[in-house]
Structure 1
């Protein structure tokens, strides 16, 4: 079955090709792109489109690769031994299965999302090389070998916060989600808000792309932020004329808090507006 997007997710031809290529090659799909471009959502929609269960492993700065395999709770076993609990004689009672173990033992193929892998320590990707390559790992405490019943479809996302090791990259199929052009963005908006007034979308997108093109922005507004902004514009029933005839001498767009996420960018737009007012005198 080929992935071509879903009713809830607009996938470009390049992105669809990348997903299908990774599935064919049986390699992890490494997805990079600006925050808010739908990297995490992609895994959910791939699972939905292919009728497969999704297992999500969200990575934090403290996450270790071993946690994806299993964790041995030695502290609980020691406590139970002091209390005379009979279950201490079976070490398996203190093995907590990780997300990879869960994916490997599934009776049907699943989609495994390893989300924001670049948040973890630099050694994290290297520590998973063998497991992702051979689709098996060894449980030292019990002596058993866990092999994947079905090779999962693996989607790995990264925000480019740090470089990933070459040995890890070599084992992945890579795709960078480019920021949507206007046509694609209109399709995305239509998916979220079917039947939305075209004039409002057109004027809102003019402002949105105008803001993104301002040099020096610390954080450019993303797709998800445009969706939030449109929701607010509709909720407050702001007419598209306000956006169309927006006075550049005024500071910033209405409800700007959905688009701008830090004070430096707000101050930048206010300075630009001040300069525009001086030029108009």
Structure 2
């Protein structure tokens, strides 16, 4: 069995790689939680790339229903076509829109199925998928046909912890929490995005970034993706390591702070701390 160990574009810790491979071996959905911006969604793309498998993505919204992942029957279009005398009305399959689960189930080879941000939907949404994810099949009433997976897909489910997920659903998953990267791991992540970044600038940028994250009472701590955006802006502006070091003496906020902090409360908090001569 081919094992997932990360890719050239995705730095996976040993714990994360172990979780992915354990879920695949157990044939259970992998439930991924972690702070926003820690690469939960990207993981599915990189697993598919690493294992050379097709990827099907189902991005969940607040209005998403479990049925949409299976299929939708367009009764309105069929009624309209029957009134117009369209010959297709006798073919029910023409009015069935296949969902992402159906597509993954019918894949010619084992696929990776991403169910992204499952906690955005109604609380009953996970329970409505229990049988389909457990048995890897569902029944299409219109076609009077059971749709079974040709190959059991690798299912990766992400959650931002906005809602508690039902126990019955959790029992069917292998769980992993992506912890925020330590400085060594973060340096590897940054190097993937900026392979030519000077070590001195990286060291100073990471120092400022982690100092900002360490400020207590921040409403939203900056994430990995926001760090990448910030460093990109530093490079475009020609910011040097000395520029960042001088912030301590000048009692100024880091340049392009809007890439790291996303609300006025956190910006005001850092401004107040710097005016008192305290570090970020």
Q: TM > 0.5 between the two?
A: yes
1:36 matched to 2:41? no
In 1, Cα distance between the equivalents of 2:143 and 2:225?
46
Structure 1 counterpart SS, 2:248:
coil
In 2, Cα distance between the equivalents of 1:100 and 1:207?
44
The residue aligned with 2:213 is 212
Structure 2 counterpart SS, 1:128:
helix
In 2, Cα distance between the equivalents of 1:29 and 1:102?
19
Gaps of 5+ in 2: none
8 Å contact kept, 2:213–2:222? yes
Report the CA distance between 1:172 and its aligned residue: 0.3
8 Å contact kept, 1:249–1:276? no
Report the CA distance between 1:252 and its aligned residue: 1.4
The residue aligned with 1:250 is 251
In 2, Cα distance between the equivalents of 1:123 and 1:248?
54
1:137 matched to 2:161? no
The residue aligned with 1:261 is 262
Report the CA distance between 1:273 and its aligned residue: 2.0
8 Å contact kept, 1:115–1:158? yes
Structure 1 counterpart SS, 2:270:
helix
Structure 2 counterpart SS, 1:245:
helix
In 1, Cα distance between the equivalents of 2:34 and 2:165?
14
In 1, Cα distance between the equivalents of 2:247 and 2:201?
13
Report the CA distance between 1:84 and its aligned residue: 1.1
8 Å contact kept, 1:28–1:172? yes
Structure 2 counterpart SS, 1:261:
coil
Post-superposition CA distance 1:83-131 (Å, at most 9, x none): 1111111211111000000000111000000000000000000000000
The residue aligned with 2:160 is 159
* TM alignment of 1:154-233, pairs within 5 A: 154-233=155-234
Cα-Cα RMSD: 1.0
1:104 matched to 2:102? no
8 Å contact kept, 1:251–1:269? no
In 2, Cα distance between the equivalents of 1:115 and 1:248?
44
The residue aligned with 1:12 is 13
